[in-house]
């Protein structure tokens, strides 16, 4: 099996040298250390991996956070080449939703003993996302965080400061959504588009039970005040969508979002890009082949 491992040494837990050594030792023991590429910039991944794909590479492993996984998945979607996932980020949403162990050595073991599963990916204006995409508060917060980090603050500190500043500013969007043959106009603090439905109640809040339903989920907040939005989020956590009356929740295969601005910041799996509007969202069913624990195999 021809395998290449893309390792992001700047991601979450993999930024710690001892954890990187644990991972590299596990890869050596599994016989998968022959092609390990250290890449901290997602923009460099395609140039580094493309020659391996042209030479018949059958599996590309993304060792890093959701941003690293996104960059590799964007290369592999629709090709039939398998994606291996080693969760080395801070949150690791994609790995958690697929049941991939968070322990580095156990995740490597899945690469050897696991099976492949076909899952959906989302896309906006042709850009792939495996978890979610959004407009409004979240991308504004990420951009604010990166600006603060440029002044020498640590990521966690910068995130806290950015969250406070963003909520203080509380920017609102004017958008028109075209979904399932209907048009919705809103003045909203955020629009969230998920690759498959997200759980909105109890202990599974924010996770997905499956990533192969062939549907996007679209959430649009109606609340335009800070504390009203906070109450809505808390109600979702405890009562699910039944507890929230000021949130549009839609399931669809495609959606068009038309903000007033010609170019808007959009989040893709935690990274922010600027895209030209209108934003054309779509689901690409079963486009990505992923290695998962054997019990999750569904080919």
Instruction: Provide the residue ranges of all domains of the chain, joining segments of one domain with +.
Output: 3-113, 129-284
Report the CATH superfamily, name and number, of domain 3-113: Probable inorganic polyphosphate/atp-NAD kinase; domain 1 (3.40.50.10330)
**Res. 23: pLDDT tops 80:** yes
Residue 74: per-residue pLDDT:
96
- Coil, strand or helix at 34: coil
Give the strands of the sheet with 247-252, arranged side by side.
247-252, 216-221, 190-195, 132-136, 263-268, 271-276
Calculate the average pLDDT of the chain: 88
**Across 37-46, 64-73, 105-114, least confident range:** 37-46
pLDDT band for 40, please (50, 70, 90 cuts).
confident
- Decide the pairing of beta strands 182-188 and 173-179: antiparallel
Q: Mean pLDDT throughout 82-106?
A: 94
pTM across the whole model:
0.88
Summarised one tens digit per residue, pLDDT across range 265-295 is: 999 998 999 999 999 999 999 999 999 999 7
* pLDDT for residue 153: 85
**CATH 3.90.1210.10 is the classification of domain 129-284:** no
pLDDT digits 0-9 by tens, 197-238: 998 765 566 789 999 999 999 999 876 566 666 666 555 555
Question: Which region among 90-104, 210-224, 251-265 has the lowest average model confidence (pLDDT)?
Answer: 210-224
Q: What is the pLDDT of residues 136-180, one digit of tens each?
A: 888 888 888 888 888 888 877 887 888 777 777 777 899 999 999
Task: Say which residue the tokens 């603060």 belong to.
Answer: 148
Q: pLDDT at residue 298 above 60?
A: no
* Those residues with Cβ within 8 angstroms of residue 189's Cβ, 6 or more apart along the chain or in another chain: 136, 137, 170, 171, 172, 173, 221, 223, 224, 229
pLDDT at 296: 47
Please report the pLDDT score of residue 154 as a whole number: 81
């Amino acid at each position: 099996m021809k395998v290449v491992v893309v390792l992001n040494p700047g991601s979450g837990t993999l930024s710690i040298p001892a954890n990187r050594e644990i991972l590299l030792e596990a890869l050596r023991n599994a016989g998968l250390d022959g092609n390990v590429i250290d890449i901290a910039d997602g923009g460099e991944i395609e140039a580094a991996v493309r020659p391996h794909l042209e030479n018949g590479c059958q599996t590309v492993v993304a060792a890093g956070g959701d941003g690293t996984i996104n960059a590799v998945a964007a290369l592999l979607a629709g090709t039939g080449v398998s994606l291996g996932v080693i969760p080395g980020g801070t949150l690791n949403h994609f790995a958690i939703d697929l049941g991939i162990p968070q322990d580095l050595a156990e995740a490597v073991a899945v690469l050897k003993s696991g099976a492949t599963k076909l899952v959906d990916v989302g896309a906006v204006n042709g850009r792939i996302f495996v978890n979610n995409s959004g407009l409004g508060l979240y991308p504004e917060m990420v951009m604010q965080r990166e600006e603060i980090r440029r002044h020498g603050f640590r990521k966690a500190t910068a995130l806290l400061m950015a969250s406070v500043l963003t909520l203080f500013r509380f920017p609102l969007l004017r958008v028109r959504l075209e979904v399932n043959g209907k048009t919705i106009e809103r003045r909203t603090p955020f629009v969230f588009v998920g690759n498959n439905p997200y759980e909105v109640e109890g202990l599974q809040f924010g996770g997905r039970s499956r990533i192969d339903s062939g549907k996007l989920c679209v959430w649009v907040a109606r609340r335009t005040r800070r504390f009203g939005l906070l109450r809505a989020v808390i109600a979702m956590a405890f009562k699910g969508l039944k507890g929230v009356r000021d949130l549009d929740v839609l399931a669809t295969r495609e959606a068009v979002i038309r903000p007033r601005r010609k170019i808007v910041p959009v989040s893709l799996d935690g990274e922010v890009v600027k895209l030209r509007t209108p934003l054309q969202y779509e689901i690409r069913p079963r486009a990505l082949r992923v290695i998962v624990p054997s019990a999750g195999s569904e080919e």
